[in-house]
Amino acid sequence: MLSDYLWNLRAKIGKELIQLPSVAAVILNADDQILLQEKDGAQGWGLPAGVIELAETPQEALARQVRQDTGLELRSAQLLDVFGGKAFRYIYPNGDEVEYTMIVFYCVTEGQLSTQDGKKGALRYFSRSQMPTLTLPYPREVLFRHSRENLSA
């Protein structure tokens, strides 16, 4: 769902390319599998992620997005990396074009996994070897940086 800010911006510029500061959550389970979310409309799989709203810090946006997308509460977060540029351009099925600047965090969460807003796709944990192609090209070595396998290396 678009925020009022994005709704108004899209009303003015249409489907043209816009740059959006966003956050993404890397959440691993006890088996070092990463939590992915199936995106709406056969768009594939991605990290729980979303746009940083006006007057919102990246950390506030991350906590909000993790709660909305997964039902989990954020306990702590550590900056993993920042990605952007042409590789992070995306065209939605409705034709809206975006280029994300993604601030990616490793997240420690608590609670029960569930979708909160009724419109999000399935949530599923994937091992490194079973990862599907993601909608945005996050490097796997970054996504699994905090796995026990990498921490013991």
The tens digit of pLDDT for each residue in 130-145 reads 999 999 999 999 999 8
Name the pTM for this structure: 0.90
The angle formed by the CA atoms of residues 42, 46 and 47, to the nearest 5 degrees, is 150
Total residues found in the chain within this entry: 153
- Tell me whether strands 97-110 and 123-126 are parallel, antiparallel or unpaired: unpaired
Please report, rounded to a whole number, the percentage of residues in the chain having pLDDT higher than 90.
78
The tens digit of pLDDT for each residue in 75-97 reads 999 999 999 999 999 998 899 99
Q: Which residues pair with 118 in a beta bridge?
A: none
**Both structure tokens of 80:** 């993993």
35: nearest Cα among 138, 131, 135: 131
DSSP label at residue 59: H
Q: Which residues of 11-40 are buried (b: 16+ CB within 10 A; e: fewer)?
A: eeeeeeeeebbbbbbbbbeeebbbbbbbbe
- What sections of 97-138 are H helices per DSSP? none
For the chain, list residues with pLDDT below 70.
Answer: 1, 41-42, 116-120, 148-153
| Domains of the chain listed by start with CATH number | 16-151 (3.90.79.10)
